[in-house]
Amino acid sequence: METDSLLDDIQDINLSYLLLAQRMISEDRTTALFRLKMDDEMADLISSLSIKQLTQLARTNQLLCRLCYEEPGQLYKLTHNQREQGLGQTHAALLMASAHHECSSVSSN
């Protein structure tokens, strides 16, 4: 029974993520590509999907989104940071930006 609940939660998160991605792409494509760490082709595909297709895609036992911090040290620095909250958010943005750059470099090779 608990597995069914977990699967339902994963599918709900997936659908929410896909709907948010579509909205972000339609409202500010450049920022969406950066924040979602995706290329133009993937953005075009996601924005073209119908609600039925999004729902089918969301119905999986795997999360479609993932944590953007690859290194545990990055997450540790953000969660155990004694800096003022505003600086912590800036630090997080810089770490995510560098992760995006690394992902782009790897995918271009």
SS (H, E, C) the chain: CHHHHHHHHHHHHHHHHHHHHHHHHHHCHHHHHHHHCCCHHHHHHHHHCCHHHHHHHHCCCCCCCCCCCCCHHHHHHHHCCCCCHHHHHHHHHHHHHHHHHHHHHHHHC
Structural domain range at position 13 = 1-66
Please report which confidence band the pLDDT of residue 60 belongs to, taking 50, 70 and 90 as the band edges.
very high
Q: Do 45 and 73 belong together in one domain? A: no
CATH number of domain containing 59: 1.10.4000.10
Instruction: Record the pTM.
Output: 0.72
Q: What pLDDT is stored for residue 108 in this prediction?
A: 40
What is d(CA 35, CA 67) in angstroms, rounded to the nearest whole number? 12
Q: Do 52 and 97 belong together in one domain? A: no
Q: What pLDDT is stored for residue 105 in this prediction?
A: 39
More confident residue, 81 or 64: 64
